[in-house]
Amino acid sequence: MSESEYGLYSQSIQILEKQIRQYCQEQGLPEPELQWGPLPFNGQWGLSTSFFQLAAREARSTPPPPSGRSPVPQRAQEIAVGVAQALGGGADYAGGAVYAPPAGFEHIEAAKGYLNLVFSRQEFTRSAVAAILEQGSDFGRGAPKSERVMVEYAQPNTHHSFHIGHARAALLGEVLARLVQYAGFETIRASYPGDIGLGVITVIWAYDKFYRGQEPEGIHERGQWLLKIYAEATRLLEPKENESTEEKTRREQYETERRELFRKWDAGDPEVRALWLKTRQWSLDELQDILRMLDIKIDVWFYESEVDEPAKAIVEELIARGIADDERPAGAVIVKIDEKLGLKKEKYRTNVILRSDGTTLYLTKDLALAKEKFERYHVDRSIYVVDVRQSLHLQQTFKILELWGYKQAEKCYHLGFGFVSLPEGAMSARRGRVVLFKDVADEAVRRVLDVIAEKNPDLPQEQRSVVASQVGLGALTYSMLSVDNNKDIVFDMDAALNFDGHTAPYIQNAFVRANSILKKSPLGLPASAEFDYEMTSHELQLIDLLTRFPQVVQQAASEYRPLVMATYAYDLASTFHSFYHVVPVLQSESQAALHGRLRLVAAARQVLQNALRLLDIQAPDVM
């Protein structure tokens, strides 16, 4: 069990482990491998470790005594009893043994081959709340780990516009980056926009032919305008039902012009490249402003256009090493992945990595990008936040990297995600049916402003826009994180902004309520509390959930699942709301209870804030 899972008692556990090892040595037992796990919460907290493995190792490694050896389960219980007596002394009871505890523990229990350590409720609560308040924004942060992680996300194609589906990818990636960084990994945030391809060339062709010089001034207006050009150009280039000879001739002429523009770009034509860079920057300006709105800061920018030539060199290397088969000029360069891996059944199939005309594919470029990550940035783990349709493609990429000899391939991971639509239906950039993120975000903020005007009309005007942005963007963000990443989402604005549902405003309101209690306290925040009063079940449940936060951080990071933290934040908010409605903090029955509850409220506020920050959601002071 890691220190983060019993950090409040890590020093005590280390002392006990030393005593247990000493006991085993004195009894001629093998060195114990102590693995601690939490006891199920039933109003008290504790840790448990098993002696079954130790009993089994003893049976294998030492000769039996003259009187014979007990079966492993019985022997495990005998060892547990002996350890408990050595740690605390005491007397047996039917079915187990309870012993006097070391400092900080209420009792030690030997039962069915397990040693159970039950914490003193008062001491556990005092220590837990003190640790949360002392560590503040660092409570739950993991110890530094030796591996470097790169998370690749927020990478829409340029010459389009940022829609609600792109927002899901950006937010999943950002929250995962925050989680792995907070868990202790050195973390690099990377983006890999698709800045070239026939879709990009289509926009440049239409802009140059029909719209040059007509671009609007605003950052978002220009980005959205490019999307409209793309949809219009697509209509011009697609065959129409019952088209006339004249229409067909014109469409074919347009197609020829588009292909010629692509050829010029590929040849490095200065005028075409300048036009491409100019229009690409319009898209990047829009993207970077939206990332600023979402508090996302990318460390490294890769571009598809920059890995094309390195990808071609990689193809030649793979051929030379016998990984790829060159079937040119009649065919392509391919990798027979299943055959090279020695698989009997088809799983990864055969992949083309270079067409017969010498052009690369997405997979080839992903190989070049991975090489850059591993060799230039020395990445140990590489996480790709890409939609679920790319699952097979990325599995194939990872296996070719494995064949190529990169040990990091086994730690490449695809965090897939489903589509986002609105109740009106699915989106299509080609058809111009796209729900733009900026439009949805602006509408969310506008609706929150209406709610504030109705429910909190005394809030100063200068605060209203800040709070509306915090709540509106928070609602949008949480709606993308609170659903399993592999599932599709139908985004419902009314549901996302519900203050009583499974939403960000519900979680943010718990923080606001905690804040309000502390502001109203005539004592401020007491410097300490002994928690030597009779705590309610609501208090105990809240304490239990607060102390689980470090474990949740590690779980969410190790499983690459932002949903784990999103669920925890909701559960914590729900538990706090229940506590808020039942426990009269400011009208507590005694000074001891008042001091303890005020510190508990402050601890809850802190952990709510930490969880929201990891979810890329701000915690407003008022709502």
pLDDT bracket for residue 427 (50, 70, 90):
low
Indicate whether 565 pLDDT > 90: yes
What pLDDT score was predicted for residue 92?
A: 45
549-558 and 164-182 are packed helices; what angle lies between their axes, rounded to 10 degrees? 120
Strands 381-385 and 412-415: parallel
CA distance 482 to 617: 13
pLDDT bracket for residue 618 (50, 70, 90):
very high
In percent, the amount of the chain with pLDDT more than 70 equals 95
DSSP state of 306: G
Report how far apart, in Å, the C-alpha atoms of 248 and of each of 251, 254, 259, 260, 443 are: 5, 10, 17, 18, 42
- 3-state DSSP assignment of residue 336: strand
- Compute the average pLDDT of residues 575-599: 97
β-pair partners for 37: 48
* Helix count and strand count (H, E) for the chain: 21, 16
Chain centroid, CA 161 distance in Å: 24
CA distance 18 to 230: 69
Indicate whether 6 pLDDT > 60: no
- Compute the average pLDDT of residues 186-210: 97
pLDDT bracket for residue 496 (50, 70, 90):
confident
Indicate whether 499 pLDDT > 80: yes
- Compute the average pLDDT of residues 311-324: 97
Per-residue burial over 386-418, b = 16 or more CB atoms within 10 Å of its CB, e = otherwise: bbeeeeebbbbbbbbbbbbebebbeebbbbbbb
Residue with tokens 């419902």: 492
What pLDDT score was predicted for residue 620?
A: 97
164-182 and 562-582 are packed helices; what angle lies between their axes, rounded to 10 degrees? 80
Indicate whether 445 pLDDT > 90: yes
CA distance 536 to 581: 13
The structural domains of the chain, with segments of one domain joined by +, span 3-119, 194-297, 474-614
CA distance 35 to 51: 10
Compare 106 and 139 and report the one with higher pLDDT.
139
DSSP 406-465: -GGGGGEEEE----EEBTTB--BTTTTB--BHHHHHHHHHHHHHHHHHHH-TTS-HHHHH
DSSP state of 487: S
- Reference 479, options 468, 469, 490, 470; nearest CA is 490
Residue with tokens 């990169």: 406
pLDDT bracket for residue 433 (50, 70, 90):
low
- Compute the average pLDDT of residues 533-556: 97
Instruction: Answer for the pair 178, 193: CB distance below 8 angstroms, yes or no.
Output: no
User: Which H helix or E strand runs over 98?
Assistant: strand 96-99
User: Which H helix or E strand runs over 13?
Assistant: helix 10-26
Dump pLDDT digits (tens) for 79-132. Answer: 999 998 888 754 443 345 556 666 778 888 899 999 999 999 999 999 999 999
Indicate whether 208 pLDDT > 50: yes
Indicate whether 578 pLDDT > 90: yes
CATH number for the domain formed by residue range(s) 3-119: 3.30.1360
- Compute the average pLDDT of residues 315-332: 96
pLDDT bracket for residue 14 (50, 70, 90):
confident
- Compute the average pLDDT of residues 221-241: 95
Contacts of 95 by beta carbon, 8 Å cutoff, 6+ apart: 111
Radius of gyration of the chain (CA): 31
Compare 6 and 421 and report the one with higher pLDDT.
421
Q: Regarding the domain with residue range 474-614, which homologous superfamily does it belong to in the CATH classification?
A: Isoleucyl-tRNA Synthetase; Domain 1 (1.10.730.10)
Indicate whether 487 pLDDT > 60: yes
What pLDDT score was predicted for residue 1?
A: 37
What pLDDT score was predicted for residue 350?
A: 95
CA distance 248 to 253: 9
pLDDT bracket for residue 411 (50, 70, 90):
very high
- Compute the average pLDDT of residues 142-169: 96
CA distance 584 to 517: 10
Dump pLDDT digits (tens) for 253-301. Answer: 999 999 999 999 999 999 999 999 999 999 999 999 999 999 999 999 9
CA distance 47 to 551: 14
Q: Which two tokens stand for residue 607?
A: 């952990």
pLDDT bracket for residue 425 (50, 70, 90):
low
What pLDDT score was predicted for residue 307?
A: 94
Contacts of 419 by beta carbon, 8 Å cutoff, 6+ apart: 165, 387, 426, 427, 488, 489
What pLDDT score was predicted for residue 5?
A: 43
Report how far apart, in Å, the C-alpha atoms of 541 and of each of 118, 140, 574, 586 are: 17, 18, 11, 19
pLDDT bracket for residue 8 (50, 70, 90):
low
CA distance 385 to 401: 18
- Reference 154, options 191, 196, 109; nearest CA is 191
What pLDDT score was predicted for residue 2?
A: 40
What pLDDT score was predicted for residue 67?
A: 75
DSSP 59-82: HHHSPPPTT----HHHHHHHHHHH
Average pLDDT score, the chain: 93
What pLDDT score was predicted for residue 437?
A: 93
Question: Which of 96-110, 235-249, 403-417, 578-592 has the lowest average pLDDT?
Answer: 96-110
What pLDDT score was predicted for residue 86?
A: 87
Question: Which of 335-339, 420-424, 462-466 has the lowest average pLDDT?
Answer: 420-424
What pLDDT score was predicted for residue 3?
A: 42
The reported pTM is: 0.92
Q: Which two tokens stand for residue 295?
A: 């508090």
- Compute the average pLDDT of residues 476-503: 91
CA distance 303 to 296: 18
What pLDDT score was predicted for residue 492?
A: 86
Instruction: Answer for the pair 38, 45: CB distance below 8 angstroms, yes or no.
Output: yes
